[in-house]
Structure 1
């Protein structure tokens, strides 16, 4: 009687050096022009069954990205709103926020892009790349202020004529606050990348090391005081506990069971309570400003 598995071909157990390696041909994804792709997506949408929500979401997102490339901002956002009404779990919401970031970035709406990135940082607090993108967006706002006065108070009506929402927007776009938020994002990015690089290798580690170097250079340009660095580091590192990081909710969990704190409630209010904005924000001066 033969033992089960004893008749396997001996070639399965050959040493790796004896096996013939086969060179894989390069793969080129098929690309369509945005207009043609949009027509294809629209036709496909008509044939999708009402209960096939997964394919429907993929098609709607594809249509939104096509509209973005075609410069159809309103239609792209309408499709994004349609996706938001059908979102039922964290995966859906994360995909939607990433879509909105790409739309706002394409059309140069930095303020709304920053709002979506803040939501991503609240949903995925241990993802360094969303923090890095948010920090870069804050830098973009600071650069825009030098040329267009985007963060300037003169951009708004007098305080007496402003609605509560306008006053909130004016406060959020204050240059010192944007500078402080940029410092916060890059400090958080640096902390998270230092934790992750202990488990990385190859090109992934190279990307991390390169981003860490860029982050250090940006913080040098932002030029916060040492006391500010210490205060911000203390605030944004208090949840970086291995057990807590592992217990963070998983993608795909029902939105009904996820309690999300806003970016403002989770970090920003704590940062403002440190008083660093009063002691450093009004006096900060980046190296770029000094050189100019």
Structure 2
């Protein structure tokens, strides 16, 4: 009696007698001269795609060289030649225009472009790019409140990215050092309804640097060379920031417990939402995911004033 699967049909191992012939056609790659899209490039062509490429590459080169007005002009011209269904290039052009406007000090126009990109965002990749762009623009114009809100959204969307937590912690420290927890113009666009006070900023800074350390230590297991050294430097800076904030040991232990609850391999794999449609996911806000649980623990009232006195000293 043959075991199941122990005998095979000989035809499986025989070469096929009749093979389909594959016709191979020659392909000649298009060779372009360096900076072929420069001022001498022909724009009298009827090919709209060719015009789009010329203006797009001109804008990218000018942006790289720091010639932001030239880049903005090229991107603006390019936008008129982008096909309606080419959403990727359209978003790329709008983002380039927003960055140019920020560098040129055109605040209102930069905000209009951010709003336009917000309306057209349809998946998590779009949202991530938009939030990173907002961080750049808001930081450029010194809009500390909106900058902090955007970083909080990034931490909610990408909870296992340590650098968003680290940057949010630095913003909290900046606000504590410069007194920008007070109501001012930079708070006009703050999205989340946070309690803006010294005590809440102090605790939020502690939260961010604790989370940063936890995530970076997990990543160390997969790193080597200069990446590992960069990681270790970041951990050291997070520890130095926590030393300045000076939370007591009980507070540190409680924060570590809360901020490490979701740090297990299965949870981290399940939370990968890269490219998902925004209509199919529900991203909890920073307050919903972490802040309310921390506030309910009573840490703010228990240790906030002690920690703040050490920061000010």
Q: State the TM-score, normalized to the length of structure 2.
A: 0.75
Per residue, is there more helix in 1 or in 2? 1
Contact 1:220 1:287 in 2 (8 A): no
Which of these two proteins has the greater Rg computed from alpha carbons? 2
User: Which secondary structure does the structure 1 equivalent of 2:206 belong to?
Assistant: helix
Tell whether the 8 Å contact from 1:232 to 1:271 is kept in structure 2 after alignment.
yes
- 2:289 maps to what in 1? 266
Q: 1:61, 1:38 → 2: CA distance?
A: 11
> Could you give the per-residue CA deviations for residues 77-135 of structure 1, whole angstroms, max 9, x where no partner exists?
11011011111100000000000110110011111100000000000000000000000
Q: Structure 1 residues 197 and 286 mapped into 2: Cα distance closer, same or farther (>3 Å)?
A: farther
SS of the equivalent of 1:238 reads: coil
Shift of 1:287: 4.6
> Are 1:251 and 2:281 counterparts?
no
Q: Which runs of 4+ in 1 moved over 3 A?
A: 285-288
* Unpaired stretches in structure 2, ≥5 consecutive residues: 1-60
User: Following the alignment from structure 1 to structure 2, what is the Cα–Cα distance between the partners of residues 47 and 67?
Assistant: 20
Task: Give the length in aligned residue pairs.
Answer: 247
Q: Which has the higher contact order (CA 8 A, sep 6+)?
A: 1
Q: Which runs of 5+ in 1 are unaligned?
A: 1-28, 157-164
**Helix, strand or coil at the partner of 1:199:** coil
SS in structure 2 opposite 1:47? Answer: coil
Q: Once the 2 structures are TM-superposed, how far is the Cα of residue 288 of structure 1 from its aligned partner?
A: 5.0
Displacement of 1:74 after TM fit?
A: 1.1
Structure 1 equivalent of residue 178 of structure 2: 144
The 3 A distance-change label for structure 1 pair 217 and 46 is same
The answer on 1:134 being equivalent to 2:168 is yes
* Matched residue, 2:243: 220
- Give, in angstroms, the shift of residue 250 of structure 1: 3.0
| Residue in structure 2 matched with residue 231 of structure 1 by the alignment | 254
After superposition, residues 10-29 of structure 1 pair within 5 angstroms as: none
Deviations 1:50-94, CA, capped at 9 Å, x for gaps:
000000000000000000000011111110110111111000000
User: For the residues of structure 1 that align with 2:302 and 2:309, how far apart are their CA atoms?
Assistant: 16
Q: C-alpha distance in 2, partners of 1:179/1:219?
A: 10
In structure 2, the partner of 1:24 is none
C-alpha offsets along residues 152-188 of structure 1, whole Å, 9 cap, x if unaligned?
4xx58xxxxxxxx99x86x622001000000000000
Query: Match for residue 107 of structure 2?
Result: 73
2:172, 2:204 within 8 Å by CA — same for their partners in 1? Answer: yes
Assess if the C-alpha contact under 8 Å between 2:152 and 2:286 holds in 1: yes
Q: Tell me how far apart the structure 2 counterparts of residues 279 and 261 of structure 1 sit (CA, whole Å).
A: 27
1:281 matched to 2:307:
no
Aligned equivalents of 2:79, 2:222: Cα separation in 1: 42
Conserved 8 A contact 1:176-1:282 = yes
TM-score scaled by structure 1? 0.81
Counterparts of residues 159-170 of structure 1 (less than 5 Å): none
Change (3 A) 1:40 1:32: farther
Provide the alpha-carbon RMSD of the alignment.
2.0
Among 177, 187, 210, the residue aligned to 2:233 = 210
